Chains A and B, each alone.
Chain A
């Protein structure tokens, strides 16, 4: 089966998903939307990609390019160009501007000596005494950076090493003489450093400086990631800042938090600072354990999906979020303001705020930890379950890619769903129609995702047992999981777009109708 087959499979399976209401929940999204196109759905960094992932070699190349440019235009050595660029935050324009406005001033600021003065060695003669170790050396063992202050090769080496070990300050290294500002450039380092290791560290600092002071490039904040990302587009508005690094970490290039569509960076920062204001640990415990609604025993959430089963002998199955019975359970994302108003009649406003906040925080946090769990699960799936399935189902590895696909989708959707709770928290309470539409869409998203998550997490297990032959149901499972993956992907994409548009279709139709019609549409489907 090649890539195309996999895709057409997706499309076909669409009609075979057991529960077809998945299909109709995009009907009421923005009209005139693109027809379904699995290609475009698959890649979040397709043709519209506005960023470039840079590895160390790419960064070095870019750095060398700007150095070469400045070096050519100003007729200075590459090492001198490097000093100038570093001083002016790697902006070629700023170097040129300052240099041509007042070359002498720039030279003075960065410690570049005038060529005329360079010959005025203090100690003329065959031998000179090193200003650090005080030993006397023949001229050819003594170096100065054009200023004439003599230091021996070994002392230069030690001086350079200690500067490098002290950190990025080594990039502005000057002559060891405290009264002298002559710069020791990278040619000096190359010539006098004690070891290749020192040279390597120096060039690493140089590269870091290039990335960190460059306005268009940022390091990927992913753990242990060494890639940097150059962002070319404007971002904001319709364009997202979302970046997906080669290390699989996806983040917002603008604020460097985890990807947070559909909410903007400002909302993320308010939400996150609100969260740290609340007692963090207390809230996390709250988010991880709850009493079983039947037996009251505390039960810790360990699975990724919201379908909880209490420990034996109780075995009560309930929804983690609303604690409702799992089987008589519709949606539970809706914040029931009316009920709260009733209950809160005599309470303080502050308490209302806490109630509301806790509602959204609980769900935000639940999706957050569910996502963390899913990431761990996916690793386990990739390392163990797939291998197991190859044995038990007699499949080739590439035939099982749909499972990884599903998990990646779950992880991505958990992220979106998580941030929709921050979205909901900040959605004005007086915009009733919008709130209703939002809560409906979010509820459907949640249901759809739960279905996918449960299928990937629980239904897969039965196929891990080895009966000596492929299981009969496996093909069905495959079709179902693929279908759910695609349906969920499409749904979430549209959800994100709709929320990013501020649910503008509410304004367009200008009435309560949409909000009222939606549940009907769903029921019909």
Chain B
């Protein structure tokens, strides 16, 4: 099983994520695969996502930490840097990845992205356009989606 020779780094990161979780973020490994994490991020205050609980999945490939973790939103979200499939446009998940970064830093960056959407580097053209032409309305839609998909159930 893949878990048997789990690198010490992953074990340490996991322990720390569980023992000292970052505020508004929880990440716990799946029972049958220690490289697969169930993640929850609380919508940051003063953002259109406030009050929402967003589920994500995070996977550490064999190359980790030389390659970035693979992360995606499972909860539907209206955000210019996140597409329909929940994929995230974030530099540290691509070319700016460094093995000195960690799961924790990645999740904190995603949380920060919810606070500060960047429509100039969009993943979702339509949403980005909406954001740039009518921000108030776009923010309203984001709030609406948060209410619809990221609360309750």
Binding site for B on A (CB under 8 A): 131-135, 149, 151, 155, 158-159, 161-162, 169, 176-178
In the complex, A133→B67 CA distance in Å?
A: 13
Which residue of chain B has the shortest Cβ distance to A158 in the bound complex?
A: B66
Name the distance in Å between B6's Cβ and chain A's nearest Cβ: 12
4 tightest A-B CB contacts, nearest first = A162-B66, A176-B100, A178-B98, A132-B99
Which residue of chain B has the shortest Cβ distance to A149 in the bound complex?
A: B100
In the complex, A16→B78 CA distance in Å?
A: 86
Whether the Cβ atoms of A159 and B92 lie closer than 8 Å is no
Residue in contact with A132 in the complex, picked from B63, B92, B95, B100, CB distance below 8 Å: B100
Chain B 5-20 interface mask (CB, 8 Å, partner A; 1/0): 0011100110000000
Q: Do A158 and B8 form a contact, CB below 8 Å, given A132-B65, A178-B92?
A: no
In the complex, A159→B65 CA distance in Å?
A: 9
Which residues of B sit under 8 angstroms from A158, Cβ to Cβ? 66, 99
Whether the Cβ atoms of A134 and B66 lie closer than 8 Å is no
Name the distance in Å between A194's Cβ and chain B's nearest Cβ: 11
Which residues of A sit under 8 angstroms from B99, Cβ to Cβ? 132, 155, 158-159, 162, 176
In the complex, A169→B96 CA distance in Å?
A: 12
Give chain B's interface residue range (CB within 8 Å of chain A).
Answer: 10 to 19
Binding site for A on B (CB under 8 A): 7-9, 12-13, 63, 65-67, 92, 95-96, 98-101, 105
Which residues of B sit under 8 angstroms from A178, Cβ to Cβ? 92, 96, 98, 100-101, 105
Whether the Cβ atoms of B8 and A133 lie closer than 8 Å is yes
In the complex, A149→B95 CA distance in Å?
A: 21
Which residues of A sit under 8 angstroms from B65, Cβ to Cβ? 132
In the complex, A389→B96 CA distance in Å?
A: 64
Which residues of A sit under 8 angstroms from B12, Cβ to Cβ? 134
In the complex, A162→B105 CA distance in Å?
A: 20
Which residue of chain B has the shortest Cβ distance to A132 in the bound complex?
A: B99
Name the distance in Å between A185's Cβ and chain B's nearest Cβ: 18
Whether the Cβ atoms of A134 and B9 lie closer than 8 Å is yes
Name the distance in Å between B61's Cβ and chain A's nearest Cβ: 12
Whether the Cβ atoms of B8 and A162 lie closer than 8 Å is no
In the complex, A155→B66 CA distance in Å?
A: 9
Name the distance in Å between B146's Cβ and chain A's nearest Cβ: 30
